[in-house]
């Protein structure tokens, strides 16, 4: 068998932010590079590339995952949501608004991952304690060390989402 045949590219269909994408990918393509380089969705960042930092967090079938540690072929048939798919038209998601209102970012590199990890938390736990928020963010690292305002941002969003009912 030739190397080309042995490592044959694989056809996949992935729904990203509601739009269906057919692609043919090398098996070793990581989901984050599929999003960034095939679909040009560069809002999802690559920080550590070793599943530590959480900058690459996206939703895979509604759950927060580190897209640097998922193969694109493993997302075949799945629904992916990235930071670009979070706003409703011009209307930011409350968690995005919270990060603006409470200064939840400095350099902004970790922000998309922080937000994508926080959203499922608030969907299942509308009024999380500081501790619950901090535990949820265990897998998201901010090198500016702006954690206090990140927690404040998520609490602001939680309150807004509760008020919206």
Partner 1 sequence: MSHDVASMFPASFGYVAARSVAEALELMVKHGEDGKLLAGGHSLIPAMKLRLQSPRTLIDLGTVPGLRGIKEDNGQLIIGPLTVHADIAASALVRKHLPGLSDAASVIGDVQVRNRGTIGGSVAHADPAADLPVILTALNATFVAQSPSGSRNIAVDDFFTDFYTTALSANEILTEIRVPIPVPGTGTAYAKLPHPASGYVVVSAGAAISRQASGTCVAARIAIGGLGSGPLRAVATEIELQGKPLTPQIIAAAAAKAAEETDPVEDSYAGAEYKRHVAGVYARKAIEAAVERARN
Maximum Cα interatomic distance, the chain, rounded to a whole number of Å: 62
Residue 10 binding partner 1, by CB under 8 A: yes
Q: C-beta of 123: minimal distance to partner 1 in Å?
A: 13
Does residue 8 belong to the site contacting partner 1 (CB under 8 A)?
yes
Q: Which is nearer to partner 1, 4 or 90 (CB)?
A: 4
- Residue 44 as a binder of partner 1 (CB under 8 A): the answer is no
For residue 151 the two structure tokens come to 């927690």
Q: Where are the alpha helices (DSSP H) in the chain?
A: 3-6, 31-33, 94-101, 111-124, 130-136, 147-164
The dihedral over CA atoms of 57, 120, 90, 145, expressed in degrees to the nearest 10, equals: -50
Pick from 37, 103, 130, 144 the residue near partner 1 by CB under 8 A: 37
Q: CB-wise, 27 or 126, nearer to partner 1?
A: 27
Which of 49, 79, 97, 159 is the binder for partner 1 (CB under 8 A)? 49
> How many other C-beta atoms are found inside a 10 Å radius of the C-beta of residue 7?
12
17 belongs to the binding site for partner 1 (CB under 8 A)? no
Q: Which is nearer to partner 1, 7 or 129 (CB)?
A: 7
CB 30 within 8 A of CB 72: yes
By the rule CB under 8 A, 42 interacts with partner 1: no
50-69 binders of partner 1 (CB under 8 A): 50-51, 54, 57, 60, 63-66, 69
| 6 belongs to the binding site for partner 1 (CB under 8 A) | yes
Is residue 76 a contact point for partner 1 (CB under 8 A)? Answer: yes
* Residue of 77, 28, 71 whose CA lies nearest to 51: 71
Q: Is 109 in the site for partner 1 (CB under 8 A)?
A: no
**Rounded-to-integer distance, Cα 144 and Cα 107, Å:** 7
28: tokens are 């070793």
Nearer to partner 1, 42 or 101 (CB): 42
Q: Is 152 helix (H, G, I), strand (E, B) or coil?
A: helix
């Amino acid at each position: 068998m030739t190397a080309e045949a042995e490592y044959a590219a694989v056809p996949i269909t992935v729904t990203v932010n509601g739009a269906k994408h057919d692609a043919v990918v090398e098996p070793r393509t990581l989901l984050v590079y599929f999003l960034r380089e095939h679909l040009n969705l560069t809002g999802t960042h690559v920080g550590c590339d070793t599943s530590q930092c959480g900058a690459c967090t996206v939703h895979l079938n509604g759950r927060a995952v580190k897209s640097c540690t998922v193969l694109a072929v493993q997302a075949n048939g799945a629904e992916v949501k990235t930071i670009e798919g979070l706003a409703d038209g011009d209307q930011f998601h409350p968690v995005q608004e919270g990060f603006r209102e409470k200064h939840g970012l400095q350099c902004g590199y970790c922000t998309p991952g922080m937000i994508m990890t926080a959203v499922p938390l608030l969907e299942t736990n509308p009024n999380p304690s500081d501790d619950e928020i901090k535990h949820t963010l265990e897998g998201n690292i901010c090198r500016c060390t702006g954690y206090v305002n990140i927690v404040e941002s998520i609490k602001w969003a939680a309150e807004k989402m509760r008020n919206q009912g």
